[in-house]
Amino acid sequence: MKGQVSSLYVHIPFCASKCYYCDFNSYVSTSDVMDRYLDGLDRELEAVSSAYEHLPLQTVFFGGGTPTIFDARQSERMMAMLHRHFRMADGVEISVEANPGTVDLEKLQVLKDGGVNRLSFGVQSFDNDLLVKLGRLHDRDAVYRSWELARQAGFGSINLDLMFGLPGQTVETLQSTLRALIDLGPEHVSAYSLKVEEGTPFYTWYERGKLILPHEDEEVLMYQLVMDSFRASGYEMYEISNYAKPGHRSRHNQVYWRNEPYMATGSGAHGYVNSVRYVNQKDVPQYIETTVGGERPVVETEEISDVMQREDTMILGLRLLEGVTFERFREKHGQDMLDVFAKPIRKYEQRGLLTVDDVGVRLTEQGIFLANEVYAAFLGDE
């Protein structure tokens, strides 16, 4: 992987309760454990900062879990340790994931003063019955209250996460959520369909026939409705699940989709630096013990071969609607994309799922719906 790293992910693995569909690395815990986690994170940030030759940070993302579960004092500490160990580039994007109902003005102000300039709320739906079915703690009113507080604190770039394909959801009920969401006017929206993941209550209920999900055809209609609604309301669909008002694309997530390097800290976090992917210890007590003891908590490393890097560039890059440009591919891999991937590109071009021009390769409107099939064609085909 060429190019120095200038992005950082920080994982905060705590939530107020566990949503029924969630397989993320997150736990319900006490404030005392959170303090000790911050002790460990402080040491890990220091170690990561000196382990890699990095540039001043262009993007930082605090994800979870629910980073805003920290109180104002802990949030202040979290921001202070970031600035103690890393320099920020001018215009750095610092994002924090939040859940409706977990923010107050004091905490938001602390984050803002610490340089956070982008908030991402896990709203998921404006339908209170659906939110209960998902095991979410918030309701529609909590979304409005948290939104007001965020604006009051001066946040001008807010993402709202949305889910569709939910149990009992119909195209009509999704439509009213979309209307409510668009009325609020967030600068960015991420909209994903529900995936039932093993090890979650949803998985157990699904296996027992107790979780009735919309039919596949209805889910396609929902996806189409999501795309149409945002595009008609001044949002650019720039990635297969992401929509932004002009100037508000997530710069951090584009680092992932462009297959660029990033450092990662926190329990269970995955990083990618110098062509090596690494994974941190997931278990929170173990993570704390290792990091407080002055060791890095890395439990797995994998050297990514040139072949895999080229595949990743295509698979991740085709998620972006601008696709992968010939120039970017050549700069990154020193080869022509069409020399490496002529076969899958031509095959899916003929099927009308990819389009190729002088600039590069991207999904067609039809390809967006069959994206997973297209990505798979780039694996092991060189």
Q: Which stretch binds ligand SF4 (CB under 6 A): 11-19, 293-301, 325-333, 368-376?
A: 11-19
Q: How far is the CB of 134 from ligand SF4 (least distance, A)?
A: 8
Dihedral angle of Cα 103, 94, 81, 112, to the nearest 10 degrees: -50
Local structure of 185: helix, strand or coil: coil
CA neighbor of 279 nearest in space, from 23, 287, 260, 21: 287
Q: Which of 9, 29, 65, 174 binds ligand SF4 (CB under 6 A)?
A: 65
Contact 131, 124 (CB under 8 A): yes
Under rule CB under 6 A, residue 24 binds ligand SF4: yes
* Whole-angstrom distance, CA of residue 313 vs CA of residue 109: 38
* Whole-angstrom distance, CA of residue 260 vs CA of residue 178: 32
Contact 36, 294 (CB under 8 A): no
Under rule CB under 6 A, residue 29 binds ligand SF4: no
Sheet containing 54-64: which strands, arranged edge to edge?
236-239, 242-244, 188-193, 158-164, 118-124, 88-98, 54-64, 5-12, 263-265
Q: How far is the CB of 99 from ligand SF4 (least distance, A)?
A: 5
Contact 363, 370 (CB under 8 A): no
Q: How far is the CB of 355 from ligand SF4 (least distance, A)?
A: 35
Neighbours of 247 (CB within 10 A): 8
Local structure of 2: helix, strand or coil: coil
Closer CB to ligand SF4, 10 or 22, in the complex: 22
Closer CB to ligand SF4, 23 or 218, in the complex: 23
Q: Which of 19, 131, 237, 240 binds ligand SF4 (CB under 6 A)?
A: 19
Q: How many Cα neighbours within 13 Å face the side chain of 157?
A: 19
Neighbours of 352 (CB within 10 A): 12
Please identify which residue in the block is written with the tokens 């991740």: 316
Under rule CB under 6 A, residue 70 binds ligand SF4: no
Q: Which of 1, 41, 45, 64 binds ligand SF4 (CB under 6 A)?
A: 64
> Contacts with ligand SF4 in 141-200 (CB under 6 A)?
none
* Whole-angstrom distance, CA of residue 226 vs CA of residue 161: 12
Q: Which of 100, 122, 261, 323 binds ligand SF4 (CB under 6 A)?
A: 122
> Contacts with ligand SF4 in 243-272 (CB under 6 A)?
none
Q: How far is the CB of 124 from ligand SF4 (least distance, A)?
A: 8
Q: How far is the CB of 163 from ligand SF4 (least distance, A)?
A: 9
Under rule CB under 6 A, residue 15 binds ligand SF4: yes
Q: Which of 6, 7, 26, 313 binds ligand SF4 (CB under 6 A)?
A: 26
Closer CB to ligand SF4, 129 or 373, in the complex: 129
Q: Which of 1, 8, 12, 22 binds ligand SF4 (CB under 6 A)?
A: 22
Closer CB to ligand SF4, 169 or 229, in the complex: 169
Under rule CB under 6 A, residue 99 binds ligand SF4: yes
Q: How far is the CB of 64 from ligand SF4 (least distance, A)?
A: 5
DSSP string for 281-298: ---HHHHHHHHHTT---E
Closer CB to ligand SF4, 108 or 237, in the complex: 108
Q: Which residues bind ligand SF4 (CB under 6 A)?
A: 15, 18-19, 22, 24, 26, 64-66, 99, 122
